[in-house]
Amino acid sequence: MWEIISIVTVGIAILMFYFQLIPLYILLASMAFGLYSLAKIAVMDLIKERKIGTELFITVAVIISVAGKEYLAGAVVLMIILIAEYIASASGEKARASIKDLIGSVPKTAVVKKDGKEVSTPISDLKIGDIILVKAGEKIPVDGTVVSGNASVNQAPITGESTPVEKTPNDTAFAGSVLELGALDIQMTKAATDTVFSRIIALVEEAENQQAPIEKYTDKVASWLIPIVFIFVGGAYFFTRDVKLVIALLIFTSPAELGLATPLVTIAAIARAAREGILIKGGLFLEELSKVDTIVFDKTGTLTAGTPQVNEIQIINVAFSENELVQFAAAVDRRSSHPLAKAILSYADKLKVTFSEPENFEVIKGRGVAAMVASKKVLLGNKAFMEERNINTSSISLSRPTDTSIYLAVDEQLAGIFYISDTIREKAKETIAGLRASGIKNIIMLTGDNLETAKHVSEQIGILDYRANLLPEDKIRIIKELQQDGLKVAMVGDGINDSPALVQANIGISMGTGGTEAAMEAADIVLMQDKLDKIARARAISKRAFRTIKENIFVGVGVVHVTGITLVLLKIIGPIEAAAIHLLPDTLVFLNSIKLLKVKIKD
């Protein structure tokens, strides 16, 4: 509002002075009023941040115009510059508002079912465990689990999915998603401040403050240019003694668009990515992703769906039946969070096998688990684990060599082998081919699984380089070695087991909502859907963003300013024309940046 009042005040004063309706001192007073906000920002930047920006340039230009008795020219310049500053400010607000618009907001109240009644309750008063009723057309106010009902839910604000998802009992519901058809009773599982929605908002807002390296670079370039500019303008005045020429040069040598060229693009690109279910934590990671030449994939839960199943149990020790082997395996796995443990527990549930609570439970990273079950020492894990515990596996012929083999030993003797496989993720092969075509030189799969399984999976999806039998620390070591060779590495994992590797990589990308809370903490980029093609999508957005930044700098700063300075030196244009032309790069930069929200971007 202040900017508009300043523009109108100066504009009216110019017209009235031009028609000789007011004296000079009123024009000067209106100029001082309009200049106040610019001068204040200039002084504060100079004192607090030791930064010289366009506000200082314009303040100096207006003061010089008054000192040189070019009153009307100075006033017109001031008014046009105030308009340009307003456009720049509005541009940033427009880009930021797009983030809030695309995500929306959650309701302030919820209908709670309690003691057979439905009570409207403020979100802040809800407690974990409350049952919330949500009807068609309403936004889901909390994160929770569906306890009853069937409904079609639009999850686009959270996951970026283009089509509604059917929700039935035991499914997860997200705050901020919209219930389109049906009705649901949802049991609240997270506080309002801990929902996926609230974390998305916090991450996107935080991302706005994370400067990309190119943004820091343009800030440095601007600071280097400023003393050179003042020397240049001072030299021009020394040789010409032309006040109008000096005013016009100050307008065109202002580094305003250089500072505007990058942040607007960053905000627009982050908003565009968020709309498509991709959370990028800041401009730094947006830029890094565009430079990545190597992508390292975890296998389980990333290239595969993460829902493995037991295909066969090979009995080695005939003293045990299949059910007994399942009892031992399920007992030691009941405390494990590994995806393969879930497969064994699901298989036990399918066979309706009961199992006891393990004692002395121990997890051996990258190897397996050990525990006492029914007074027997049970080991469950990969072949390397067995060899380390001196369990002989050399004479065993695997019946399903392409499956993941989980060995079970009871009292130091190999008892059986569980063969488990996982399905390849949809579009995995197409994604790998697309990434390679987009300029990714190296694509590597890392897994703690055996060599045969790693080879089988990699061949199915077209990855030529794979490493097997790895511990978590081995993955970190491999990423470090790649980085030492000068490669820019992105690591794609599930965000939980691969957290150290995600942090070590130049860019950590976490898949899906399965472990969203941990994923958001560990990764630089979070994909809110379990879709591999989102990786190519994120990279396409980042590359388009940095093409846009280059366009902004070249056209908005280079062409317009160089042309303007040339025209001023040739005395083809003066201060008023210079100020009018100064509106052009601001407008061009804004339009070119904001188009990222809607323009079609090819993967």
Contact yes or no for 223/45 (Cβ under 8 A) = no
Residue 579: HSE in the Cβ half-sphere, 13 Å Cα cutoff: 23
Give the chain's end-to-end CA distance (angstroms, integer): 41
Q: Return d(Cα 465, Cα 443) in angstroms, integer.
A: 7
Q: Return d(Cα 103, Cα 101) in angstroms, integer.
A: 6
Contact yes or no for 64/251 (Cβ under 8 A) = no
Give the strand pairing for 489-493 and 507-510.
Answer: parallel
Chain centre distance of CA 210: 11
Q: Return d(Cα 54, Cα 226) in angstroms, integer.
A: 10
Contact yes or no for 43/53 (Cβ under 8 A) = no
Contact yes or no for 196/141 (Cβ under 8 A) = no
The residue written with tokens 């306890």 in the block is 147
In 10 A of CB 599, how many CB atoms?
12
Using alpha carbons only, what angle is made at residue 175 by residues 171 and 181, rounded to the nearest 5 degrees? 65
Residues 6+ away with beta carbon under 8 Å from 18: 72
CA distances from residue 221 to 38, 53, 553 in whole angstroms, order as listed: 22, 12, 12
Total residue length of the chain: 603
β-partners of residue 173 are 144
CA distances from residue 500 to 368, 385, 464, 492 in whole angstroms, order as listed: 19, 22, 24, 12
CA distances from residue 91 to 85, 213, 216, 584, 600 in whole angstroms, order as listed: 10, 22, 20, 14, 21
Contact yes or no for 467/478 (Cβ under 8 A) = yes
The pair of structure tokens assigned to 552 is: 């902004």
Residues 6+ away with beta carbon under 8 Å from 479: 296, 489, 491, 501, 504, 505
Contact yes or no for 187/125 (Cβ under 8 A) = no
Is residue 298 flagged as an active site residue? yes
Residues 6+ away with beta carbon under 8 Å from 90: none
- Indicate which residue of 298, 403, 530, 603 is catalytic: 298
Q: Return d(Cα 372, Cα 352) in angstroms, integer.
A: 22
- Residues acting as catalytic residues: 298
